[in-house]
Structures are given as C-alpha cells and as structure tokens.
Structure 1
Amino acid sequence: MSKQGNIRIASENMMPIIKKWLYSDKDIFLREIVANGVDAITKFRKLADMGEAQTSEEEYCIKVSIDKDAKTLSVEDNGIGMTEDEVEKYITQIAFSGAADFLDKYEKADGDGIIGHFGLGFYSAYMVSENIEIFTKSYRDEPAVRWESDGESTYTIEPCDKETRGTKIVMHIADAEKEFLDEGTISTLIHKYCGFMPYNIYLNFQGKDDKPLNDPQPLYIKNPKDCTDEEYKSFYTKTFHDFQEPLFWIHLNMDYPFRLKGILYFPKVKNKAELERGQVKLFCNQVFIADNIKEVIPEFLTLLNGVIDCPDIPLNVSRSFLQNDREVQKISRHITKKVADKLTGLFKNDREKFVQCWNDISVFIKVGCLKDEDFYSKVKDILIFKDLNGEYKNLDEFLGVVPESETAEEKRDEEKKPVSVYYVSDEVGQSQYVNMFKNAGLNAIVCDTFVDPHFISFLEYKNPEKWKFMRIDADIDSALKDGEVNADDFKDLTESFKNSLKNTSIAVKAEKFKSADVPAIINVSEFTRRFSEMNAFYGLAGGDADRDMTIILNTENPVVASFTGLNDEMKKFVANQIYYIAMLSYKKLNPEELKDFSDNSMQLLKNYIG
C-alpha cells in the first residue's frame, strides 16, 4: 500500500546553509537590504497615488548609519512599514516575497519599480551579522513592532515605541566582518550596488545639507531627446572614471516587446590591454546586478563601457537560467542589432566621422564579427581598410567592384574565382615591398592590428568565392615583374649564390623585376606563414616559417647581374650582404647575422675611405 507525505526540513539545519551559500559575494547583503527599503517606499507611494495612504512633505529616502561602538550597521527607510502580522508573514516565512504579494493585490496598478523577485534577500544580512533587529511601523494606524533573531530557528517579536512610518534594520556585525563597520567600505558598496537606486541614499545622515551618495535619476533612464552631448560625456566620466572622451554612444530606450534602457559607449581602443578593460554594468530597476554578464550582453560588447537596465531579469539567478531564457536571448539579439544599426547609420550618414573613429573602433568591430555571426551579417558592408595611399575603403570599393544585379551575379557564380587582396602588416618593416608596390602602380590594404591575422582568415572563410588575402611579401605579382624568366638560364646564378650563403636552408630563385633598384627580396608563402603564426599563437610545434623561405634575386640589378663573375671570396661577401639587406626588409636579423652584417658594412666603409 503506497503512502504520500511532505518532506520536512528542520529550520535549524536550513539557516546555516542560507547564511553561507545564499550569495557568492558577501557584500551583496547591503544591496538586498537597501533594495528592500526602495521597495517599501515605492509601495507606499503607489498607495498614496491611489488615495489609500496619507502623504507628508518629507523626502523619500534611505539612511544608512554606522555605530562602531555598538558594532551595528543600520538601514532605515520611510516606506510602507509593516504590521506585526506582516512581519510574521514576510520575515519569518523564508522565500515569501512581499513584493510578489503586493503586486498580486494591486495587479491593475502599474507594477514598474518593484524590485523584489523573491523573499530570501533579507536573510543575506546574516552572512555578516550575528544578530538582527527590525523596528517597523506600518502606514496603517497599528502599533510599531520590534523583531529580533540571531539567525537560527527562533525569533522574538514585540511592540516598540517607533513613532515614524517605515522600517529600520539594525545589523549587529560579527567580529569576523568588522570591515562592514568602515565608512569607506560601506560608501564604496553603496556606489557599486545602489548608485542608481531611485531614492536618495545617505550615509551617517546629519541634516538637510547632506548630499546623497547615489544618483536617483541617472541619464540612461531619461528620454534620449532630453539628453545633451555634455550630459552623456559627464555621465561616462563619472560612471567609468575614464577622463578620455568616448567616441560616440548608443542610448537604448524601449518598452516593447521587452523593457530595456541603457547607454553603450565606444571608448578609444588601440591595443589588446585596453580591449580587455571594457565594462558593461547590468541593472534591474536601477539595482546593480553584475558586470559583463555574457548571457545577457553579447560577449564582444563587453569590450565597450556601458549601463544596461533590464527590469525583467531577476536580481539573482543562475547563469544556466539566463542562457536558456528566451526573453534574455531576445534582449541580447536586440542589443546586437542596435549596435550594428548605430555603426551602419554612422557609415552611411557621416562617413567622415566613421573614418575618423575607425582606428579606435576597428578592433571592436572585428572582434564582434569573429564572435557573433549575426553582427557580422549586419556590418559586413561597412568594414573598411586603410590602403597604401591613406584612404579608407571597404573591400568592394578597394577592388573597384561594380555592383551587379542578383540575376547577373547568379549567372557568374560558377565562373567566379577569388580575387587576390594584397595587404601589409607593418608599413615600416615592409617598406621595401610597399615601395615596389607603389612604383608598380599597385595598392594594398593595411592589416596591422593584433586581431587582423584571424580576421582575414575569417573573411576568406565567409567569402571563399570573393577574396584571397596575400601579404605583399608572400608572392611576386606579375605587375612587379618584367616578364617571366627561364630558370635554366639563371641556374649558375642561383646555385652559385646559394653555395655562397651561410644560411644553407633558404631556397634561391631568380626573377626579372621592372625596377633595378632592389637586389633581392625574401618570400614566404601565405599558407606557410599563416600556419606558422597559428602554431606559434597556440604554442604548437611547426611554428618556424623561416625553414620555407625563398630569396628571390632580381636579375635586373647590376650587383646581381655581375655576381657570377666574382671570385669565390667576393661571392660569399656579396651574397651574404644581399641576403642581410633583404632580410632586414622582412624581419629582424638574429644576433649572429646582425654581427656579420655589421662587420661586413664596416669593411665596406673602410674600403670606401681607402
């Protein structure tokens, strides 16, 4: 015969678990207690608006006070207050949310602004307290109540002489948590967790001249039409302590199909270290939740600085919940779309400003494309590159592609072959190749950020029929050559040159350049170099591209042309000097090569002086 029953949990066993594991960060207790005070004030104001409570001229506010002698930290509000029955219901019954109960009762009224999503928040205070007292007086004409508990399974409740409406929570701080009796610590926590809460918050209130620690009307909750550029810049500096002005910003403000407010700022980003300093603060009804929650904010957007407020997201939920919540996914996609729309609009409507900002935002955009395919699909046509002439163009503009109709493109699909896009990764270090390109009337794009090696591979993967990227030292374009040469005609030259080199692993090849100025250049295939860079990036073997280097001799250069007529000793001297000169345009010489090059150069100077 089967039986059914209720599982019983002993409260004396449950409380230590709640006190220890309720939150991962202990200091979050202050957020929870202050948020309860905000809820209490909001509830009272709603009742007053409906004519169910009498108001006064007093300022709605929350006062936080520290008494080091008594070892107490207190938080007091002048909100709705509680009767004895309500204290029994909302405080002694764990996880019974007063906010939820209030909304159920007044569901026809506007529920915006009620923070509470659950009833455990109050008990977070026991993570730092050995005992807690509550002094509360309801807006109703009922006696004030004092409640006290050490956080175990018992409590005391009795009448008290509190005269003013509202609730005061007195936390007796445990000896091991004395840091929470420090005014600087509490001030920092208020700024962090409660900086934008909707009512003034005072610390150790002395009188009407005191200034609140928070900003109850942060810029992001206002209508974008009512905000000035100076206000945006001031809010950025104050919130993120960055005194360098942002490039531009996006003000998010929507109520349907979900509620979302916020401002995203584009800071100046030029290197990887700066890229990792981004900070997007997530709020719920002006209550801080966390920084850079990738389940809500697309990962690449954490490169920005910003504030996002989503009232529909609970204050404390697991990341697995956020990952699987459809509303959260919609919010994430919407934020991505708004960022893409802003960038696209700037490109189309103010190309000059877009170009001016490009060096600062290009890394962010490229990382965004690598991380988020939807983002790439929205911004792919505004990806621009600087060319050797200093002009900024997207790849179609750079290649001079004329847009075709979709039908024409479909007919040509099978005939299409990827076009070679030459690029330079170091304009100074690769200046010899750059000059050769310019002299031949060729152009190349500049890809010199740390993300570019990954980004060009990504573009090739996404557009296999359109582009093939080649670094300018990876191949000799036909425009640089004055026709093709027969390798057999220069076999004596290449073999003699190779036998004269100290570097025995390098291959030697001869070509006829249009310019006679350059004696030789170093060549490593694009595939070999990229494979080498990838292995080096991941710390794998096979990261040495030098083993597959080729030195290409220019048969039009007079020094090269006369090489075979030199004696063996002079061949060694000239061959290695030509090799060193070519290498200096490709990469740094190793110490042994640098010494040999220096000695040879000094010998040439001595011979010249005579």
Structure 2
Amino acid sequence: MSETGQKEVHGFQTEVKQLLQLMIHSLYSNKEIFLRELVSNAADASDKLRFKALSNADLYEGDGELRVRVSADKEANTVTISDNGIGMTHDQIIEHLGTIAKSGTAEFFSQLSGDQAADSQLIGQFGVGFYSAFIVADKVTVRSRAAGVDASEGVEWTSEGEGEFTTAKIEKANRGTDIILHLKEDEKEFADEWRLKSIVTKYSDHISVSVEMLTPEVPAVEAVAEVKDEDGNVTTPAVEARDAIPAKWEAVNKATALWTREKADVSDDEYKEFYKHVSHDFADPMLWEHNKVEGKTEYTSLLYIPSKAPFDMYNREKQHGLKLYVQRVFIMDDAEQFMPTYLRFVKGLLDSNDLPLNVSREILQDSKITQAIRKGCTKRVLKMLEKLGKKDAEQYQLFWNEFGQVLKEGPAEDMANKDAIAGLLRFASTHADTSVQSASLAQYVERMKEGQDKIYYVVADSFEAAKNSPHLEVFRKKGIEVLLMSDRIDEWLVSHLTEFDGKQLQSVTRGGLDLGDMDDAETKEAQEKLAQEFDSVITRIKTALEGKAKDVKISQRLTDSPACIVADEHDMSSQMMKLMQSVGQEVPDALPIFEINAEHELIKHVADQQDDTQFNQWVEVLFEQAMLAERGSLKDPASFVARLNKLMLSLTQ
C-alpha cells in the first residue's frame, strides 16, 4: 500500500466539530463503545457489498468470504479495524467522514444542554458511528478502496479530530476499509488483544459477518528426553518436538444472524446489543418481539420499542422503517413500506423468504407480499403495546410520555386498526388534577355517570387553558368527567376518532350541548323560563353582534363565567382553524355562536342598560373576551382595549 497523490486539506462541517467535542467529553465514561460502532459499520459495509454483488459478482474480486478483522499493536499503540466490504471512493470518504447528512441536525444541537449525562443520552439517540473513534484516539487514519475499481483508486483520510482532515490518493491492493486508531497515551488498555476480544464478544457477538482476531503465535519446541534422579523420580518430563504454530485469524463471534436463531437460544443481553446495532442507540430498548411467521407468507420479524424518543421523531418526512433482508441477504435500511408512519419509532428488521433478491422500493410499494407483512407487523406492534398497557401501567406510561403524540396520528392514518389504536391512547382528565396523560378511553367509559351516553372532551392550546375552560363549568357542577386535550395533534385526532366502544366523542366547545338524561326536568324547565325572559335581550345582542356572531343563545354550560363562544356543530372548531393556519392553509371565516349566562350579575347589568351605545359596548367587550378566552387572540386588540377602558371609566363616574 503506497501513497500516490498529493494531500488535500478539507475543513470539517461545523456540526462535525461540535459533535467531536461533545463525544470526547460526554461519552468518556462509556468509551469502549467505539469498537462496537466501528465493527457495526464494517459489518454494514459487508452487507452492502453482498447486496450489490447480487447483480455484479465481479465486485467480489475473487474473494467472497466477507469478514471484519480487529488487531492491535502495543508498540505503536494502535488499533486497526479492517473489512473487505463495499469500500469508499474519494468523494464518498469526504461525504461520509466530513459531514453529518442527517435531517434535523440543527434541532439536535439546539437540544444540547451542557449537562454531560443528559447530552450523552441525546448523543446516543443521534448515533455517532465513525466519530466515536476520537473518544480513545488522538489521530485516526482511514484507508479505503471501493469494490470493483482499480487498486490505484484507493484513498487515505487522516485527522486529529480538530478542525480539518486530509485526503490523499493511495495504492490499495484489496477492496474495503482499514481504520487505524492512534490511541491517546492514557488509552493504552485498548492496544491489548484480550481487552479487544472481550469488547467484541460483549457487543458484537450477534453480527452475522465473521469478526476475526489473530491468535498468538506458538513457538517451536525441540524434543527433550525424560530425565530421572537416583530415586527414579522424573525431574524433566519428556517433550516431543513440535514445529512453530503461526498466528492465524480466527472468528471470535458466533457470526450467525441473531434473528435466525431460536428465541430460547438468544439471551436478553444479546437482544439488547442487537438493538443497539440496528438502531445506533446507546440505551437499551423498552421491549421487543421476535417472531417467525409461516404459511402463505413466510418471514421473520424482530421488532423493538425504544426506551427514548429520537430527537427528530416529529419529522414525518425523515427516513424511517425496518432493515430489510431477503433470505438473510441485506437489501436496504429504512424500508418504510413495512411500518406505518405513526409507528415510525419502531426499530428492527424483517427477513422475507418470499420477496425477490433484486427487490426495489418501487416494487415493494405495490407488492401484495409487502402489504401482508406490513399488516402483520403493524398488528404485532399494537399487540405488544396493548399487552404492556395491561401488564405494566407504569412502564406503559413511560412509553406514552415518549411516543404518545406520534401514536395519536394513527386513527387518521390507519382506519383498519383504529379501534386497537384508540385503546392505546391516554389523556389528561378532570378526574385527576394533573397534566399527566394517563386516562384511557376504556377507563373513562367505566367511570361514566348513569345516563351519560357520550365521551366529553375539550381541546385547548395548553393544559391550563383546557383545565380552566369556562365550557367545563356545568360538567364540574354535575361531576361529569371531561378529557383535557392540549397536544397539537389532538384536534386532528378527534376529527377522525369520533367514537369508542359505541360512545360518541363530543366536544364541550360545540353548540347544541345536550346532557340527555343527566338534566333533570326541573333544570330543563328553569332553562326554558330563562330563555323566555331574555328573549328581548337576545334580540338586542344579535343586533349588536350582526356580522360577528352566527347566533346568540342562553348557555346551558356556564355557571361562573358571563359568556363564551362555541362552534356550530358543522363548522370548523377554533383549534382546527389554528392548526390549519399554522401550516399555511386557508380556513373558512366561520362565525361563532355567542352564549350568555343569564344568571350572571354582569349579564344582568348589561340587560338593564337602556342606552344602546352603552349596551353595544358591553356586548362587544363580553364577546371579545369570550373570543380571547377561546381563540387566544383578536383581530383588533387595540379597539378591544379602548372599549374596555371606556367602560371602566364610565363605572367610576
């Protein structure tokens, strides 16, 4: 291997420099993971070559035995990880080792706090791969040649992990990549073969590619005759002559695809380490399921639920999905066709016996086999979560806190499993004085009042706004539970999830509130009497709010507040309007219904106003207060303030 070209100096992408500094300091307590990451990358390079060689066997260059080799040199204080996988070209090595091509990278860095423990966990979710080498090395050299190109097309990459790296053209006889770590003075422990072997067996035993290390050379032995003393005791045992046994490469891992083994033969620790291999996450998974499906469609699935949400989970456009293998041959990462978007947090792999080895993303999209596997895997995940919710409420709450908002996308996306998803949802509720979303719809139904036939909910911008909504007043008075929804996705959720267990979901902010059998005859009679007494006042208010309110009614839902606005049954709710506007969508200008509490002293004061100007000002202030409470903003706040100030001054005169 020789250098054939001049060195080029390149600057690291800004994010790479940040990541390097963070890793060196935040991951120092778990530094041995560098070997896991580098061996995992080397195994991926072998998988990719195996896949490409399906259509071009010449890429093997006469060597089809794929492997990863790990070695150490105590004198030079180096560790080398070599593979004979796909390799890299000059442009690829700059792209892969000089930049971070991940969506949401800026968001990731914005979440870092400076707390090493917290940042370590976040870095683990981000995935560090190659750059973990700098945790233990003060200089890294990478020599690589892409499969199928001339030996003169090799490239050497060198960096000390600061602001820049160099590249140079080299002669490299064999394809693949060699990574040489020049260890820091205080990291000499990793130049020990036994230390490296223990790390490989701990973290990489499950990798299907053979991970090899050199066995020590055994020197030659000359023949020695047996010697006895005068008492006949043997003082020197006879030893037969033996030639020297040279050092040789031997596999130190099982080198068997973990998912092909029987579940009973795989330990929990092996499942956990395999999860870290496929997900590049540092934390253990929350739960997993390993299944072999036989029959019309045959496949093996190994599905994991992470314990922590990735930093970019809410980006629906980011690549997600499972690793896809066909007959144990790696085909692609992030095969999104097998997992719906609302389950994009699920990690793992599929190995199909039915798909063709030359399958593409386009073929997967329209394949009946794909649809069958997707259906099976989706149901499998939902069953896993249902089982967790029933078996361990505390653990399920941890899951919900991490992934609940994403799961709420499910009813709109997956009609076939809407009921199963609904059973997994959790909400805050007036039943508990906390913002924790722990109430299931099944629990709500169990707690329903006698005569209650609807599931009531309110959607607001925050938990506090939902909890203190004036629309809840009559429900509190009657002891009726209301679900408190404040996630951005909630309005979208309830527009698609309209019932559960035969009970209709009903917003308390919509007009036409009917408490059915929970309203006694006496209450209904009193409401009708009030409506008659306030008939002329209602007419005056309608005139004052002409063009601003669709209708004016006596409220059945208010007990403490003077007024509120509600949406007509068939109009878009305030929260849906905000949601649509936030994504740049035009929304229809639907007028609200204005409801007044006829028993409130302020409403009685307004009703007694004989001066039309004063009356109109009071009505407009009350209306705008209600708009502000429900929608959070006004089209003309300055006019509202001026009217309010004028009315307050009039009360002092």
Task: Name the TM-score class by shorter chain.
Answer: 0.5 to 0.7
Q: Following TM superposition, by how much is the alpha carbon of 1:238 offset from its aligned partner in structure 2, in angstroms?
A: 5.4
Q: Following TM superposition, by how much is the alpha carbon of 1:128 offset from its aligned partner in structure 2, in angstroms?
A: 7.5
Note closer, same or farther for the CA distance 1:539–1:526 as it changes in structure 2 (3 Å cut): farther
Aligned to 1:94: none
Q: Within the alignment, does 1:429 sit opposite 2:472 as a pair?
A: no
- Comparing 342-351 with 383-392, greater Cα deviation is found at 383-392
Note closer, same or farther for the CA distance 1:254–1:440 as it changes in structure 2 (3 Å cut): same
Q: Within the alignment, does 1:469 sit opposite 2:505 as a pair?
A: yes
Aligned to 2:566: 523
Note closer, same or farther for the CA distance 1:467–1:318 as it changes in structure 2 (3 Å cut): same
Q: Within the alignment, does 1:250 sit opposite 2:305 as a pair?
A: no
Of the three residues 290, 303, 310, the one matched with 1:263 is 303
Task: Give the Cα–Cα distance (whole angstroms) in 2 for the partners of residues 274 and 315 of structure 1.
Answer: 31
Aligned to 2:445: 399
Aligned to 1:485: 528
Note closer, same or farther for the CA distance 1:551–1:306 as it changes in structure 2 (3 Å cut): same
Q: Is the 8 A contact 1:429 1:587 kept in 2?
A: no
Note closer, same or farther for the CA distance 1:32–1:356 as it changes in structure 2 (3 Å cut): closer
Give the secondary structure class of the aligned counterpart of 2:505: strand
The unaligned stretches of length 5 or more in structure 1 are 1-26, 44-60, 73-126, 133-169, 190-194, 403-416
Q: Is the 8 A contact 1:485 1:512 kept in 2?
A: no
Q: Within the alignment, does 1:554 sit opposite 2:597 as a pair?
A: yes
Q: Following TM superposition, by how much is the alpha carbon of 1:522 offset from its aligned partner in structure 2, in angstroms?
A: 0.4
The unaligned stretches of length 5 or more in structure 2 are 1-46, 68-81, 94-144, 156-166, 180-205, 214-245
Matched ranges for 1:182-261 at <5 A: 196-200=207-211, 216=255, 224=263, 235-237=274-276, 239-242=278-281, 246=285, 248-254=286-292, 256-257=294-295, 258-261=298-301
Q: Is the 8 A contact 1:551 1:579 kept in 2?
A: yes
Matched ranges for 1:13-412 at <5 A: 32=52, 36=60, 40-41=64-65, 62-63=83-84, 170=151, 172=153, 196-200=207-211, 216=255, 224=263, 235-237=274-276, 239-242=278-281, 246=285, 248-254=286-292, 256-257=294-295, 258-266=298-306, 267-268=308-309, 273-274=314-315, 277=318, 278-284=320-326, 287-298=329-340, 300-310=342-352, 313-319=355-361, 321-322=363-364, 327-376=369-418, 378=420, 381-390=423-432, 392-400=438-446
Aligned to 2:137: none
Aligned to 1:573: 617
Q: TM-score, normalised by structure 2?
A: 0.54
Q: TM-score, normalised by structure 1?
A: 0.57
Note closer, same or farther for the CA distance 1:561–1:238 as it changes in structure 2 (3 Å cut): same
Q: Following TM superposition, by how much is the alpha carbon of 1:471 offset from its aligned partner in structure 2, in angstroms?
A: 1.5
Aligned to 1:459: 497
- Comparing 33-42 with 425-434, greater Cα deviation is found at 33-42
Q: Following TM superposition, by how much is the alpha carbon of 1:542 offset from its aligned partner in structure 2, in angstroms?
A: 5.7
Please report the RMSD computed on the Cα atoms of aligned residues, expressed in angstroms.
Answer: 5.3
Aligned to 1:543: 588
Matched letter for residue 439 of structure 1: K
Structure with higher RCO (Cα < 8 A, 6+ apart): 2
Q: Is the 8 A contact 1:38 1:199 kept in 2?
A: no
Number of residue pairs matched?
441
Aligned to 1:141: none
The superposition leaves residues 154-212 of structure 1 with CA deviations (integer Å, 9 ceiling, x where unpaired) of xxxxxxxxxxxxxxxx58579xxx999899x97699xxxxx95422389xxxx999999
Give the secondary structure class of the aligned counterpart of 2:570: helix
Note closer, same or farther for the CA distance 1:434–1:201 as it changes in structure 2 (3 Å cut): farther
Give the secondary structure class of the aligned counterpart of 1:570: helix
Note closer, same or farther for the CA distance 1:590–1:38 as it changes in structure 2 (3 Å cut): farther
Matched letter for residue 520 of structure 1: A
Note closer, same or farther for the CA distance 1:605–1:491 as it changes in structure 2 (3 Å cut): closer
Q: Is the 8 A contact 1:512 1:556 kept in 2?
A: no
Aligned to 2:110: none
Task: Give the Cα–Cα distance (whole angstroms) in 1 for the partners of residues 301 and 254 of structure 2.
Answer: 16
Q: Is the 8 A contact 2:364 2:370 kept in 1?
A: yes
Task: Give the Cα–Cα distance (whole angstroms) in 1 for the partners of residues 86 and 445 of structure 2.
Answer: 67
Q: Following TM superposition, by how much is the alpha carbon of 1:367 offset from its aligned partner in structure 2, in angstroms?
A: 3.5
Task: Give the Cα–Cα distance (whole angstroms) in 1 for the partners of residues 625 and 423 of structure 2.
Answer: 40
The superposition leaves residues 412-439 of structure 1 with CA deviations (integer Å, 9 ceiling, x where unpaired) of xxxxx99432211124334222344223
Matched letter for residue 345 of structure 1: K
Give the secondary structure class of the aligned counterpart of 1:264: strand
Matched letter for residue 338 of structure 1: R
